[in-house]
Amino acid sequence: MTRRTETLPPGYFEALYQADPDPWRFATSTYEQEKYAATLAALPDRRFASGLEIGCSIGILTRLLASRCDHLLAIDVSDTALSQARQTCANLPVTFQNRRIPAEWPTETFDLIVLSEVLYYLTAEDVRRTAELARSALQKSGLVVMVHFLGETDYPLTGEDAANIFARCSGLRQIDCKNEPLYRIDTLESPP
């Protein structure tokens, strides 16, 4: 399989959601449900004041994260996915925005940043830039949680490579790494 050499453009994702409202079966897949539970389990038992979810898709994980955050900013590059996410998370403390990272990184700061299965869509250079921006946007004692599929794809990076580049370039302290057969969850923390 030949890897793509450029960060995947927004049109790639918009076309997927136009063709299928849930192209990865986020709402119905047992794999996704188990991964969401493991993602939430990777969070410490505390409430977050301000969270950022990058690549929120149709809002399935967003809905779960919103229960742990006073406010959550959820971003994606597909208007079609965002429309579904708004319905999925109606009446929850979530703001949705169409943004492309790293070029359109939000200006706010956060005590939780979640990057679930998004970094491998970027080139190594864009992952490096995203890591720098995340570190700058993370409040003291804030957390970054990364989730990556470990199977074979044609994306610019493997899940392992994306996670390792981000961790190395972020300057954050890795406090946990959970490896499952199909995915990996990394938890990183900013200094107190």
Using left for φ > 0, alpha for ψ between -120 and 50, and beta otherwise, residue 109 falls in beta
Quote the strand ranges of the chain, DSSP E.
48-54, 69-76, 94-98, 110-116, 138-149, 173-179, 183-189
Residue matched to tokens 């949680």: 145
Per-residue pLDDT averaged across 102-117, rounded? 97
Residue pLDDT, tens place only, 31-84: 999 999 999 999 999 999 999 999 999 999 999 999 999 999 999 999 999 999
Q: Which two tokens stand for residue 41?
A: 């389990």
Q: What is the Cα–Cα distance from 175 to 186, expressed in whole angstroms? A: 8
Q: Which two tokens stand for residue 84?
A: 């579904």
Residue pLDDT, tens place only, 175-192: 999 999 999 999 999 988
Q: What is the pLDDT of residue 191?
A: 84
Q: What is the pLDDT of residue 168?
A: 96
Confidence band for 1, pLDDT divided at 50, 70 and 90 = confident
Q: What is the pLDDT of residue 23?
A: 94
Q: What is the Cα–Cα distance from 38 to 42, expressed in whole angstroms? A: 6
Residues 6+ positions from 37 with CB-CB distance below 8 Å: none
Helix H or strand E encompassing 87: helix 79-88
Q: What is the pLDDT of residue 127?
A: 98
Residue pLDDT, tens place only, 7-23: 999 999 999 999 999 99
Q: What is the Cα–Cα distance from 98 to 56, expressed in whole angstroms? A: 10
Domains of the chain: 29-189 (3.40.50.150)
Of all residues in the chain, what percent carry a pLDDT higher than 70?
A: 100
Q: What is the DSSP letter of 142?
A: E
